[in-house]
Amino acid sequence: MDIVITREALNSYLNLLHGHHISRSTYETFLRPDILLLHDYPDPVEFDRSRFWSPAKGRRGRIQNGFKMKWHNIGPGRVQLRLPVAVIDDTAYLSEAYVKDSRKKELRELARFDVHIERIRRGNYTEEGRL
């Protein structure tokens, strides 16, 4: 599967770095290898673990084509990090990563993700790179 880095994904990565939620070494050591597993989705066993990968569910239920990668106790602040991923036509589109610190915030972020997926379906997104 192809992995597309959207503008939202790149901006959120930079915000997480500048906010000291993650470091570059945390990204390179923990996050990037997990993200690269998307190339072989759904074969790696990690995708069967609900603590790592799950369907994205907002206020209105499951978000079509939406999933979340999850990391627990990551970075210097030991935060819970979420990376929404849209899987459409054998391509994984990375969306806006966020620190999960409450259910309320997560629902807001997933509502934004739902809008982002719709923009991706319409071809209205900016590709910043591929992995």
pLDDT in tens, 11-47: 999 999 999 999 999 999 999 999 999 999 999 999 9
- The two three-digit tokens of residue 100, written as one number: 């999960």
What is the reported pTM? 0.96
* Residue 75, pLDDT score: 83
- What's the pLDDT at 101? 93
- Report residues of the chain scoring pLDDT below 70: none
Q: What CATH number did the domain enclosing 15 receive?
A: 3.30.2310.20
Task: Tell me the C-alpha distance between 1 and 47, whole Å.
Answer: 14
Question: Nearest CA to 37 among 46, 48, 29?
Answer: 46
Residues 6+ apart with CB under 8 A from 100: 79, 80, 81, 82, 106, 109
Quote the DSSP letter at residue 37: G
Q: Do residues 93 and 86 make contact, with C-beta atoms less than 8 angstroms apart?
A: yes
56 contacts 113 by C-beta, under 8 angstroms: yes
| Number of domains composing the chain | 1
**Contact, 95 vs 6, CB < 8 A?**
yes
Residue 72: which domain range? 2-130
